[in-house]
């Protein structure tokens, strides 16, 4: 269950995993991972493309 | 209905109005990026058109998440200088950094600031077209858009920023914290990146024409439209009976911004036209004019704003030619438009608004304070831009190989053609090849 609430009465932070540090950590780590992978994948794409046209 | 209920209803609607205002400012700021997209594609040669476009699209998509990861925290943690204060609510794992039915402020301000950051990335993007590696650019853009400018913002564009407290710094429309910082960051990068092949012959700058000048002009006009979102996002919509204030807490309103944004645009265009007669500079003059008066949008008499913007617009093409003479290849005039006009705007406030009070016990606006701040903004942009790009250059990670630059980045990196049935980009490149190079084209 990703919901941090069981009722809207008195609700505040309502986003998924708001009551689960592990859920937030995994989501955030995945987001950072995508960003880092993007950089690596562009570097690889550049190397392959440049090598092909040497 | 009781008075309490009426008050509660009124306050809820006031909070919703704040959200609505910044929501649309953010949306309009996307027009800046649509404009930069058209501007840079048009300014590139056919062989690099799509690469320039891809670079611009990815700029936004890299700065937004990195600003979420650490940019918003930097803004909240560093108003005192380089020692962070507690800003745990701005960390990405904080409960404030996500949907909260009782928080009608954090997300909308995060969004506006993220888009300000993306603007700095786009300023850098134009200057370095046609020879920078995409990988290097995106790292530099993230550093600039999610760390460097927002550090300057924490110092000089924050109610508790040390530059406001110690210098009486006044920069309501971000001439310094966005434009000067980004422009000088770009200058630092350009010094290490070097000029495009063919730009300088025997030390003399050659004109490398944009492949689609009309597209660039339309792009510039779209940036102007986006500026209304940007400048709207620079004003604070307060709750209660305070009304509009600047980010420094002094009263102002959108009417003040409207007078001087329009007069700044017009003055900049006319000034640039008078000293260049050239469409690219003339249209850029609209940007340069607004940037020249942005720091004092809340204070200038509109006639003065027009004159100051005209002077900024008139000087801007001259600065562009000076940059050329110094051997720096700034493909879109970003140094002249953003670095020069940004610093110029900060200094002009010191010249014409010295003596205006700040709120409370804060020091008044002064020429010495603005001059000091202008130097700080320039160095805050230049030092990391030069330093990081220098390391990248030493690692051979900054610039594309020369043979790739000659072939064109689109052919090498992009699995698409910009104008497959109208302008034969492939043939244009083919005509520039040395004997034997044709086989490399697949």
pLDDT, tens only, B60-114 = 999 999 999 999 999 999 999 999 999 999 999 999 999 999 999 999 999 999 9
Q: Average per-residue pLDDT in chain B?
A: 94
Contacts of B96 in chain A (CB under 8 A): 13
Q: Is A25 on the interface with B (CB under 8 A)?
A: yes
B186 and B385 Cβ atoms separated by less than 8 Å:
yes
The residue to which tokens 């495009």 are assigned: B196
Q: pLDDT per residue over A31-45, tens digit each?
A: 999 999 999 999 999
How confident is the model over B417-433, as pLDDT tens digits? Answer: 888 876 555 555 555 55
- For B243-302, write each residue's pLDDT tens digit: 899 999 999 999 999 999 999 999 999 999 999 999 999 999 999 999 999 999 999 999
> For residue A53, what pLDDT is reported?
81
The Cα A15–Cα A13 span in angstroms is: 6
Give the chain A residue nearest B142 (alpha carbons). A35
Helix axes B134-143, B367-394, angle to 10 degrees: 150
Interface test with A, best of B51, B400, B404 (most A CBs within 10 A): B404
Which of B187-191, B234-238, B435-439 shows the lowest mean pLDDT across its residues?
B435-439
B181 close to B149: Cβ distance less than 8 angstroms: yes
Residue B295 sits at φ, ψ, to 5 deg, of: -65, -25
Residue B441 has pLDDT above 80, yes or no: no
pLDDT at B240 over 90: no
Contact flag A12-B103 (C-beta cutoff 8 Å): yes
Task: Give strand pairing partners of B204.
Answer: B201
Ranking B91-100, B385-394, B431-440 by mean pLDDT, the lowest is B431-440
In B, residues 385-404, which contact A (CB 8 Å cutoff)? 397, 400-401, 403-404
> Could you say which of B93, B100, B138 has the minimum Cβ distance to residue A14?
B100
* Inter-chain CB proximity A39 and B139 less than 8 Å: yes
Residue B100, φ and ψ in degrees, nearest 5? -140, 115
pLDDT (mean) for B133-158: 98
Q: Report the percent of chain B where pLDDT is more than 70.
A: 95
Is B377 in contact with B184 (CB distance < 8 Å)?
Answer: yes
Pick from B291, B328, B305: nearest CA to B180: B291
Considering only the beta carbons, identify the residue of A21, A28, A46 that sits closest to B134: A46
Q: Indicate whether B133 pLDDT > 90.
A: yes
The confidence score (pLDDT) of residue B423 equals 56
Taking CB atoms and an 8 Å limit, are A24 and B93 in contact across chains?
yes
Across the interface, whether the CB atoms of B98 and A18 are under 8 A apart is answered: yes
How far does the CA of residue A21 sit from the closest CA of chain B (Å)? 8
Which residue has 């439209």 as its token pair? B225
The pLDDT confidence band at residue B434, using thresholds 50, 70 and 90, is: low
pLDDT score, position B345: 98
d(CA A31, CA A41): 15
8 Å CB contact of A14 and B99: yes
Pairing assessment for the beta strands B200-201 and B236-237 based on DSSP bridges: unpaired
The yes-or-no verdict on residue B164 having pLDDT over 90 is yes
Q: What is the pLDDT of residue B261?
A: 98
Contact of B226 with B115, CB cutoff 8 Å: no
State whether residue A46 sits within 8 Å of chain B by CB. Answer: yes
Q: Residue B252: its pLDDT value, please? A: 96
| ipTM of the complex in this document | 0.96
Q: How many Å is the Cα radius of gyration of chain B?
A: 22
Q: How would you label B164-196 residue by residue, b for 16+ Cβ within 10 Å and e otherwise?
A: bbebbbbbbbbbbbbbbbbbbbbbbbbbbbbbb
Q: Report yes or no: B214 at the A interface, CB cutoff 8 Å.
A: no
Put simply, whether B414 touches A (Cβ < 8 Å) is no
For B405-441, b/e burial (b = at least 16 CB within 10 A) is: bbbbbbbbbbeebbeeeeeebbeebeeeeeeeeeeee
Mean pLDDT value across residues B331-344: 97
What is the per-residue DSSP string for B189-255? Answer: HHHHH-PPTTSEETTEEPP---S-HHHHHHHHHHHHHHHHHHHHTTSEE-STT--EE-TTS-B--HH
Q: Rounded to whole angstroms, how far apart are CA atoms B135 and B51?
A: 12
Q: What is the pLDDT of residue B213?
A: 95
Confidence grade of residue B328 (pLDDT, cut at 50, 70, 90): very high
B98·A35 Cβ contact <8 A: no
Can you tell me the distance from the alpha carbon of A43 to that of A48, in angstroms, rounded to the nearest whole number? 9
Judged by a CB distance cut-off of 8 A, whether residue B65 touches chain A is yes
Dig out the tokens for B418 from the structure.
């910009």
Cα three-residue angle B431-A45-B433, rounded to 5 degrees: 10
Of B116, B112, B113, B138, nearest to B125 by C-alpha is: B138
* Total CB pairs under 8 A between chain A and B: 68
CA–CA min distance B13, chain A (Å): 18
β-partners of residue B399 are B132
Lowest mean pLDDT among B80-89, B172-181, B232-241: B232-241
Residue A6: pLDDT over 50: yes
pLDDT of residue B421: 72
pLDDT given for residue B442 in this prediction: 37
């Amino acid at each position: 269950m990703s919901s941090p609430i069981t009722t809207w009465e008195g609700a505040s932070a309502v986003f998924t995993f708001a009551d689960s540090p592990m859920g937030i950590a995994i989501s955030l780590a995945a987001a950072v991972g995508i960003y880092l992978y993007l950089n690596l994948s562009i570097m690889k794409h550049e190397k392959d493309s440049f090598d092909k046209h040497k | 209905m009781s008075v309490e209920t009426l008050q509660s209803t009124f306050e809820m609607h006031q909070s919703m109005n704040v959200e609505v205002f910044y929501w649309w400012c953010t949306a309009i700021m996307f027009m800046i990026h649509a404009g930069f997209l058209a501007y840079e594609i048009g300014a590139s040669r056919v062989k690099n058109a799509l690469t320039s476009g891809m670079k611009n699209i990815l700029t936004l998509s890299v700065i937004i998440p990195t600003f979420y990861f650490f940019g918003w925290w930097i803004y909240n943690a560093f108003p005192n200088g380089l020692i962070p204060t507690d800003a745990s609510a701005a960390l990405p794992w904080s409960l404030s950094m996500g949907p909260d039915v009782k928080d009608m402020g954090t997300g909308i301000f995060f969004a506006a600031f993220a888009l300000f950051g993306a603007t700095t990335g786009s300023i850098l993007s134009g200057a370095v077209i046609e020879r920078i590696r995409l990988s290097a650019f995106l790292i530099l853009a993230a550093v600039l858009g999610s760390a460097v400018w927002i550090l300057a913002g924490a110092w000089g564009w924050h109610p508790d920023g040390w530059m406001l407290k110690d210098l009486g710094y006044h920069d309501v429309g971000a001439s310094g914290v966005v434009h000067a910082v980004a422009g000088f960051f770009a200058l630092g990068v350009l010094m290490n990146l070097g000029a495009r092949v063919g730009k300088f012959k025997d030390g003399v700058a050659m004109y490398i024409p944009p492949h689609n000048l009309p597209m660039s002009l339309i792009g510039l006009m779209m940036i102007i439209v986006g500026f209304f979102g940007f400048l709207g996002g620079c004003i604070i919509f307060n709750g209660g009976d305070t009304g509009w204030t600047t980010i420094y807490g002094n009263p102002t309103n959108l009417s003040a911004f409207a007078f001087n944004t329009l007069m700044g645009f017009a003055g900049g265009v006319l000034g640039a036209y008078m000293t260049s007669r050239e469409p690219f500079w003339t249209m850029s003059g609209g940007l340069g004019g607004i940037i020249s008066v942005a720091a004092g949008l809340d204070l200038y008499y509109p006639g003065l704003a027009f004159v100051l913007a005209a002077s900024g617009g008139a000087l801007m093409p001259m600065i562009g030619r000076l940059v050329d003479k110094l051997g720096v290849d700034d493909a879109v005039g970003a140094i002249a438009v953003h670095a020069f006009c940004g610093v110029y705007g900060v200094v002009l406030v010191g010249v014409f608004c010295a003596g205006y009070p700040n709120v409370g016990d804060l020091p008044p606006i002064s020429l010495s304070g603005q001059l000091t701040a202008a130097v700080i903004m320039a160095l805050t942009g230049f030092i990391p831009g030069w330093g990081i790009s220098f390391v990248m250059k030493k690692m051979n990670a900054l610039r594309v190989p020369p043979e790739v630059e000659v072939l064109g980045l689109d052919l090498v990196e992009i699995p698409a053609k910009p104008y497959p049935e109208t302008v034969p980009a492939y043939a244009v490149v083919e005509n520039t090849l040395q004997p034997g190079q044709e086989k490399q084209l697949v």
